[in-house]
Amino acid sequence: MKSYWIKPTLTALAALSLTTNLSAQRHGPAAAAEQAKMLIPHSGLQATLFASEPLLVNPANMDIDAEGRVWVTEGVNYRLFKPWGKIQPEGDRIRILEDNDGDGKADTAKTFYQGNDVNAALGIAVLGTKVIVSCSPKVLLFTDENGDDKADGPPKVLFNGIGGVDHDHGAHAFVFGPDGKLYFNVGNSGGQLKTPDGKKFIVDKAGNEVNGRGKPYRHGLVFRCNLDGSEVETLGFNFRNNFEVTVDSFGTLWQSDNDDDGNRGVRINYVMEFGNYGYTDELTGRGWGTKRTHWEKDIPSRHWHQNDPGVMPNLLQTGQGSPTGITLYEGDLLPEVFRGQMMHCDAGPRVVRAYPVQRSGAGYKAKIVNMLQSEDPWYRPSDVCTAPDGSVFVSDWHDGHVGGHHMTDHKPGQMTGRIYRLTPKGGDSRYALPQKRTAFSMLSSPNMASRYIAWQQLNKVGAKAEGTLDKLWRGNNQRLRARALHLLARIKGLEKKYISAALKDANPDIRITGLRIARERGLDVIPLVKQLVTDKDSAVRRECAIALRHNDSPDAPTLWAKLAQQHDGADRWYLEALGLALDRQQNKFFGAWLEAVGSNWDTKAGRDIVWRSRSKKTPDLLVKILLDKKTTEDEKPRYIRALDFQSGPEKDAALIKLLGAGS
C-alpha cells in the first residue's frame, strides 16, 4: 500500500502542524457527518453514514453477521516499529456495531475481544458462533457459544508461521464458500503456512510443502480448506499482495493484486485453480524488472510476466492504486449493473468499484463501474460487505495516508474511522432484517454469514432437506440453483443423481459447478469429462482440463488430447487450462496429442500448445518452429523464451541443433 498525502516541499515542522490541525478538524461525529456530504455514489445509489468515531477507529477489515451487525477489526496499534510505537497497550479491539432502532445508523458498539494478538488484524469472518481473525503470524479461531458477544476465552490457532507480521502483505480474510469450505489468502510477505504449533510447514493436497521457496509456490498464495483447517489446497500462487479473495455461488474465485509501488499495474484476477500468477520469474524467482527474452512492451503487463508460458492472464488492470477488500454482490436490492459482480475497494485513488464481467472464451473480460468516491482526501475505503437486506457497507480507514507503514493520525483521541451504507437512490434508508428467516430464505440471502448458517442446518439434516433445496434447484436464479446443487449433491445416495442433472443442464455455469462438485467429492471424473469433452462452451472444457490435472487414469491422456484439439489458437485462458492439466504428466498427455494430430501439429493453435508444453518432445518442436521460414522475426522471441522452461538432454540436443543451423 502507498501513501499520497503530505507534499515533500513542506518542512517537517509545517507538516506536523498541518497534520495536527487537520486531525483536530476531522475528529468526531459532527465532523464525520459533514465529511459524509462529500461522498459521491454511483447515480443509482445513495450513501449514508452508518458509524464513526468514537464507536470505532481505523477499521482495517469488516464482516456483517446474520443479524446485520457490523464486525470490525481496528488498527490502532499499526506499525509498532514506527516512532509512535504501541498506542494502545491493551491491544487492538474487535468491535461489534449495531443499529438497534433500524434508522440506518449504528447506536451501540461492543468490544468482542481486545488483545495484542489482534493488532491491526487484516481479516475477520463471522460464521455463526465462530469468528476467524487473520493476524500474521497466526489465524485465530474465536468462539461465542453463550451468545454474550464476548469471546469465550483465548482463541484456538488454525494456522501459524505466516510471514508479514505488522505488515499489509500478511494473512488476510477468510470467506465461506458454497461448497462448505473456507477460502483465504496471504500476501507475498506471508508466503508460507505452518501447523498450529508453528513447527511444520503445511503439506497441501497436491503433496507440496507450502514453504514459499518456489518449489513450486512463492509469494502471495490462495488457499481452500475444511472448516477445521484440514485438507489445505493451494489454488493460486505468485501474487504480490492479493489483499482478499472472494468466491461466487458457482465456486469461481476472484481477487485483486497490488503492483510494486508506482508501476500502474494493479490488477483484478479470475483465479483459475492451481495457476501461477506471474509476480516473479517462475524459474529464478527474480523480480519483474530483470531483463528477459520476449518481455512485454508495457510495464504493467511486464510486471506480471504476461508473455511467459504458464502464467495466468489478468482479467483487468486498473492502474495505480492500493487495493484492499473485495466481495461478490449476489443480492437484488442494488441496481442490475452490480448484481452478480465484484465490489472492490482501492484506497489509493479513493474509490469503491464494481467490475461487471462477461464471458470471453474460456475466461472473462471486465469493465469498471465506480460505486463510491469522495471529495474528502482522507477517504480510504478498506473493505466492502453485503448485509442481509442486500445493502452494502463500506469501511473507511479515513486517514491522510493509505497505509504503507504510515498513518497521519497516531495520537489517542484523534484517530478516526467511518462506515458508510449504500442503498438504491431515492429508496428507504432504514435498516432492518428480512421478516422471513428460514433455512431456505437464509440460503438465498446475499449475506455470506446468513448462507453459512443455512448451509450448516440443511447439510446436517441431509435427505430431509431435499424438498426445500429442490425448490431452489428448479428455479430460474442460476446462483441460487448452484447453492442448492452444492447441498443436494452432498446428500448420501443422491450425489450422482444431481451431478448427472447438472452436467446436462442448459446453463454452462451449472455444468461447471457439477463437475467441480464431483471433483471435490472425490468421484471418478473420467466418465464426466467424457460426457463434456466436446461441450460447446469453452469454459466448460476449461474445467474438464483442470479436472484431469494429476489424474492417472489411462483414459486421461486421450481426453486431454481431445480438449487440446479444440484450442482455437487465440484463447489464452483455454491454453493455460490445458497447461495446468499437463503438470506431472507432460509426456503422456502431450504425446497423446501428437499422436492424434500427427503431421498436422504445425498450426497456429498447435504452435500455442507446443509453446505451453514442457515434454521431452517439446524442445525439438520449438526449434523446428524457430527454423521454419514461415516464422517471422517478431514471433521468434516468444519461442526462444519458451526454451527457457525446458530441461534435460532433449533441450541440450535442441539447442545444439539450433546453434548448428545458425553457423
Q: 439-451, pLDDT tens digit by residue?
A: 999 999 999 999 9
The C-alpha atoms of residue 214 and residue 256 are separated, in whole angstroms, by 22
| pLDDT band (50, 70, 90) for residue 263 | confident
- Does residue 357 sit within a domain? yes
- Does residue 80 sit within a domain? yes
Mean pLDDT of the residues in the chain: 95
Number of domains in the chain: 2
If asked whether residues 500 and 353 sit together in one domain, one would say: no
pLDDT reported for residue 412: 86
- Does residue 614 sit within a domain? no
- Does residue 387 sit within a domain? yes
Mean pLDDT of all residues in 289-305:
95
If asked whether residues 359 and 488 sit together in one domain, one would say: no
| pLDDT tens readout for residues 588-610 | 999 999 999 999 999 999 999 99
| pLDDT tens readout for residues 216-256 | 999 999 999 999 999 999 999 999 999 999 999 999 999 99
If asked whether residues 210 and 106 sit together in one domain, one would say: yes
| pLDDT tens readout for residues 480-521 | 999 999 999 999 999 999 999 999 999 999 999 999 999 999
If asked whether residues 94 and 134 sit together in one domain, one would say: yes
- Does residue 105 sit within a domain? yes
Judge whether residue 52 has pLDDT over 70.
Answer: yes
Mean pLDDT of all residues in 83-110:
97
If asked whether residues 209 and 273 sit together in one domain, one would say: yes
Range(s) of the domain holding residue 337: 12-277+312-424
- Contact present, 347 and 25 (Cβ < 8 Å): no
If asked whether residues 361 and 466 sit together in one domain, one would say: no
- Please give the grid coordinates belonging to residue 498: 444431481
End residue of a domain, out of 523, 553, 586: 523
**Torsion, Cα of 500, 501, 506, 512 (10° steps):** -50
φ/ψ of 394, rounded to 5, equals: -125, 125
| pLDDT band (50, 70, 90) for residue 393 | very high
If asked whether residues 174 and 78 sit together in one domain, one would say: yes
* Exposed/middle/buried for residue 635 (C-beta within 10 Å: 0-12, 13-18, 19+): middle
pLDDT reported for residue 20: 44
**Torsion, Cα of 126, 478, 226, 152 (10° steps):** 20
| pLDDT band (50, 70, 90) for residue 261 | confident
If asked whether residues 410 and 348 sit together in one domain, one would say: yes
Pairing mode, strands 245-247 and 233-239:
unpaired
**Torsion, Cα of 482, 486, 488, 491 (10° steps):** 180
End residue of a domain, out of 523, 542, 565: 523
Q: Per DSSP, what are the bridge partners of residue 125?
A: 132
Mean pLDDT of all residues in 359-369:
98
Mean pLDDT of all residues in 650-654:
97
| pLDDT tens readout for residues 145-188 | 999 999 999 999 999 999 999 999 999 999 999 999 999 999 99
pLDDT reported for residue 663: 60
| pLDDT band (50, 70, 90) for residue 17 | very low
If asked whether residues 113 and 220 sit together in one domain, one would say: yes
Judge whether residue 662 has pLDDT over 80.
Answer: no
Mean pLDDT of all residues in 81-98:
96
- Does residue 601 sit within a domain? no
The C-alpha atoms of residue 511 and residue 502 are separated, in whole angstroms, by 5
Omega before residue 216 within 30° of 0, cis: yes
- Contact present, 396 and 417 (Cβ < 8 Å): yes
- Does residue 554 sit within a domain? no
What's the one-letter identity of residue 198? G
Mean pLDDT of all residues in 417-440:
93
If asked whether residues 456 and 321 sit together in one domain, one would say: no
Pairing mode, strands 253-257 and 266-271:
antiparallel
User: Which CATH number goes with the domain that contains 273?
Assistant: 2.120.10.30
End residue of a domain, out of 487, 503, 523: 523
pTM of the model: 0.95
If asked whether residues 236 and 349 sit together in one domain, one would say: yes
- Does residue 325 sit within a domain? yes
DSSP 54-114: TS--SEEEEEE-TTSPEEEEE-SS--TTSTT--S-TT-EEEEEEE-SS-SSS--EEEEEEE
The C-alpha atoms of residue 149 and residue 162 are separated, in whole angstroms, by 28
If asked whether residues 106 and 190 sit together in one domain, one would say: yes
